[in-house]
Amino acid sequence: MKLLLKLLGGLAVFLILGTLVVYWFVLPGIATNADRDMNPVVAHAPYDIAPDAAALHRTLNVADLHADTLLWMRDPRQRHDFGQTDLPRLREGAVALQVFSTVTKSPSGLNYETNEAGSDDITLLAIAQHWPMRTWGSIYERAAYQAQRLQEIERDDETFFIIRTRGDLAAMLAARQDNRAVMGGLLAMEGAHPLEGELANVDRLFGEGFRMMGLQHFFDNELGGSLHGISNDGLTGFGRAAVARALELGMVIDVARSSPAVVEDVLAMTDAPLVVSHTGIKSYCETKRNIPDELMARIAAGGGLIGIGYWEDVTCDASPLGIANVIFYAVEKFGVDHVALGSDFDGTVTTELDTSELAAITDRLLYLGMTTEDIRKVMGDNVLRYLSENLPE
């Protein structure tokens, strides 16, 4: 019996040590490899940029409505040779403002057609990346933790500002006139499931710095139906209350992943200008991921913004010229004041450029005949104007 107990004790120690080795040394490597595999930039020769396009791009205040950089364990303060964004590459791309979206629950498969809400790959990713234990079982805490990661960057980098108010935005842009390294970040939710069905969490997340609330992601949630869910339902009673409270606080409402019925309901309940943060145009690229043009037109008519994505599933051509073509088409269809950039960088999409190469889009827009004034608008000024009018004072 003593021998058996000794053997069992040794086995328990072995299992504990083995678990610790896997947790501390194996899982982070697996997470990094997942980042490399899921956020690739297609290998390409350096893009040819005409001298006038390069000169123009250096003067732009580029703004991008959607990137999922905070999901991954790599430090955004350091330049990396994988993934699609980090602060050094954002600055190389002349980005003045980046919206950082927080991914907090994601079903297995990431199917554009239909997804059940039961599975959740972010739990495993949070464990593998050594996120705090409080995030392993709480969707709210995952959003808060990613916000806190951005807050840490703001504390450490005197040229990086989290944009919470119109005053913050104005101060950042004023500082940027003297130092082009200055840039801002705005926090957004990729789906409002971090509310966890509690209206008070709207205020808590606002307190963490969130200023944009995407209502759904890949699955139906407490607020209503997803574009990729099962029900195709509109807003629930809780969804209406959450949207109303977010608007009271001064949050921007993003319907990029919402079912058409949810978009209809939001348009019916408010005249606040909405955002479709990362998308394509359905009449240009027929896919379920792009909501109907009629809804896009109503969003534009209400003063909203349409952020054009950079991946093939929404553009039908992920090259810089392909992206520029969609932007040009959207401008003709919905008006130049309502079109913006919405890359979805680091959002498990394959792209043909990273954020340091955005001059290639400027170059292709010039090639297509877009005016300098209109290029300034779609590459960033529309977003900056919109936020200056719609953020809290």
What is the band of 21 on the pLDDT scale with cuts at 50, 70, 90? confident
Who has greater pLDDT, 5 or 369? 369
Alpha helices in the chain (DSSP H): 2-21, 27-38, 51-58, 87-92, 121-128, 139-156, 166-178, 200-207, 237-249, 260-269, 293-301, 312-315, 320-334, 359-367, 372-376, 382-390
Mean pLDDT of 65-71: 98
Count Cβ atoms within 10 A of the Cβ of residue 116 and give its class: 0-12 exposed, 13-18 middle, 19 or more buried: middle
Q: Which amino acid is at 194?
A: P
User: Do 102 and 188 form a contact (C-beta atoms < 8 A)?
Assistant: yes
Interval 333-346: pLDDT, tens: 999 999 999 999 99
CA–CA distance, 132 with 4 (Å, rounded to integer)? 37
CA–CA distance, 216 with 83 (Å, rounded to integer)? 24
Interval 82-121: pLDDT, tens: 999 999 999 999 999 999 999 999 999 889 999 999 999 9
Angle between helix axes 260-269 and 237-249 (nearest 10 degrees) is 50
Strands 160-162, 210-214: parallel, antiparallel or unpaired by DSSP? unpaired
Between the CA of residue 350 and those of 32, 119, 219, 243, 357, what are the distances in Å?
Answer: 16, 23, 21, 32, 15
pLDDT reported for residue 1: 60
CA–CA distance, 342 with 378 (Å, rounded to integer)? 10
Coil, strand or helix: which one is 158?
coil
Could you tell me what percent of the chain has a pLDDT over 70? Answer: 96
* Structure token pair of residue 182: 């200055």
Among residues 296, 284, 286, 290, the alpha carbon closest in space to that of 327 is found at 284
pLDDT reported for residue 9: 58
What is the band of 6 on the pLDDT scale with cuts at 50, 70, 90? low
